[in-house]
């Protein structure tokens, strides 16, 4: 079977197939990245803030991509003109929803959520406090996906920002640790269950190329951009190494591409295989980046 970027769909939209496949290979996993930073105690430092900002922007762009794919699919059916006005209206509605959601969290949530947590703590019930923390986090993530059209990952991140404003945020973070670990385990288990091991034998070259694009293209591009923005080699290497993998949003893009006939079924197996391989390699890259980080590097010169 030819790789998905060479396999024409029924409508012959080869170029659009390549675009969807490339987009799926460009979205790093928030779960993997943040867990790696947490294991190294870097979340609260500058490198953690830069990585979190990168991931938020990436998720926002992925949400906008999900809005653009259906019009591209309609255009690929042949004879259907692309309605620019409808497309711009859809993008405006999506951006408006995201702006309203962020405003509600950062303005209303910063005043209401701390009071809810403080009230739950004053009751003296550890179970009630834990339930309040989990309900706020999961409720915000669910509302982000179902009401405002954002991703669950983005909603969860903004919920964490909202909870951090509470004076007892440290205890709230501790209470959410068991659930966080459980979801991380479920994420990796689900990826393993979806993957077909025969893909390694059927498409070894295509899979190797996909992994190379993620490691060299994704990680290398991140390294170059961070250096151009004036970040040190230490920060740039660690963030680039952490971003050299793909995860949850890649699967969503792949499913939407297959559902809209923009990508054949074989693309999902390659994306899952590339995700598993890059997640396995990612700790090694981070360890290498950490070792290089400990090596003195002259950052006095301006980045190339």
Which residues, at least 6 apart from 94, have a Cβ–Cβ distance to it below 8 Å?
63, 64, 67, 149
CATH at residue 260: 1.20.1530.20
Which pairs from 107-115 meet CB under 8 Å and 24+ separation? 109/140, 109/162, 109/165, 110/162, 110/165, 113/162, 113/163, 113/165, 113/166, 114/165, 114/166, 114/167, 114/168
Determine, yes or no, domain membership for 4.
Answer: no
Give per-residue pLDDT as tens, 21-37. 888 898 898 878 888 88
- Report which of residues 146 and 173 the model is more confident about: 146
Q: Are residues 293 and 234 in contact, defined by beta-carbon separation less than 8 angstroms?
A: yes
Determine, yes or no, domain membership for 282.
Answer: yes
- Segment 179-204 shows an average pLDDT of 76
Determine, yes or no, domain membership for 300.
Answer: no
Say how far apart CA 270 and CA 7 lie, in whole Å: 13
Whole-number pLDDT of residue 118: 82
Whole-number pLDDT of residue 296: 53
- Report which of residues 154 and 280 the model is more confident about: 280
User: What is the percent of the chain with per-residue pLDDT over 70, rounded to a whole number?
Assistant: 76
Whole-number pLDDT of residue 297: 46
Whole-number pLDDT of residue 278: 92
Q: Count the domains in the chain.
A: 1
Determine, yes or no, domain membership for 289.
Answer: yes
| pLDDT higher than threshold 50 for residue 7 | no
Determine, yes or no, domain membership for 303.
Answer: no
Determine, yes or no, domain membership for 272.
Answer: yes
3-state SS of 17-59?
HHHHHHHHCCCCCHHHHHHHHHHCCCCCCHHHHHHHHHHHHHH
Say how far apart CA 16 and CA 251 lie, in whole Å: 17
* Residue 57 domain boundaries: 14-293
Task: From 224, 216, 210, select the one nearest 285 (Cα to Cα).
Answer: 216
Determine, yes or no, domain membership for 93.
Answer: yes
- Segment 184-195 shows an average pLDDT of 74
Whole-number pLDDT of residue 72: 67
What confidence category does residue 241 fall into, taking pLDDT thresholds of 50, 70 and 90?
Answer: very high
Determine, yes or no, domain membership for 301.
Answer: no
């Amino acid at each position: 079977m030819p790789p998905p970027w060479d396999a024409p769909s029924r409508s012959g939209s080869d170029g659009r197939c390549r675009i969807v496949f490339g987009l799926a290979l460009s979205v790093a996993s928030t779960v993997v990245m943040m867990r790696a930073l947490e294991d190294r105690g870097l979340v609260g430092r500058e490198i953690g803030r830069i990585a979190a900002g990168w991931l938020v922007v990436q998720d926002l762009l992925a949400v906008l991509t999900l809005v653009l794919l259906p019009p591209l699919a309609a255009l690929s059916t042949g004879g259907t003109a692309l309605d620019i006005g409808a497309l711009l209206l859809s993008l405006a509605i999506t951006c408006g929803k995201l702006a309203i959601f962020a405003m509600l969290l950062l303005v209303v949530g910063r005043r209401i959520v701390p009071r809810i947590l403080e009230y739950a703590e004053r009751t003296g019930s550890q179970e009630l406090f834990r339930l309040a923390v989990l309900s706020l986090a999961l409720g915000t993530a669910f509302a982000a996906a179902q009401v405002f059209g954002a991703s669950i990952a983005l909603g969860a991140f903004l919920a964490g920002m909202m909870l951090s404003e509470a004076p007892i945020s440290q205890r709230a973070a501790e209470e959410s640790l068991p659930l966080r670990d459980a979801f991380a385990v479920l994420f990796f288990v689900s990826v393993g269950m979806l993957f077909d091991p025969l893909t390694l034998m059927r498409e070894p070259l295509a899979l190797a190329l996909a992994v190379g694009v993620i490691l060299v293209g994704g990680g290398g591009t991140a390294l170059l951009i961070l250096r151009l923005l004036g970040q040190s080699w230490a920060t740039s290497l660690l963030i680039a190494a952490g971003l050299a993998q793909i995860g949850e949003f890649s699967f969503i893009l792949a499913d939407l591409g297959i559902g809209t006939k923009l990508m054949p079924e074989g693309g999902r197996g390659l994306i899952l295989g590339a995700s598993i391989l890059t997640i396995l390699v990612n700790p090694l890259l981070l360890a290498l980046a950490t070792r290089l980080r400990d090596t003195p590097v002259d950052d006095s010169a301006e980045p190339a």
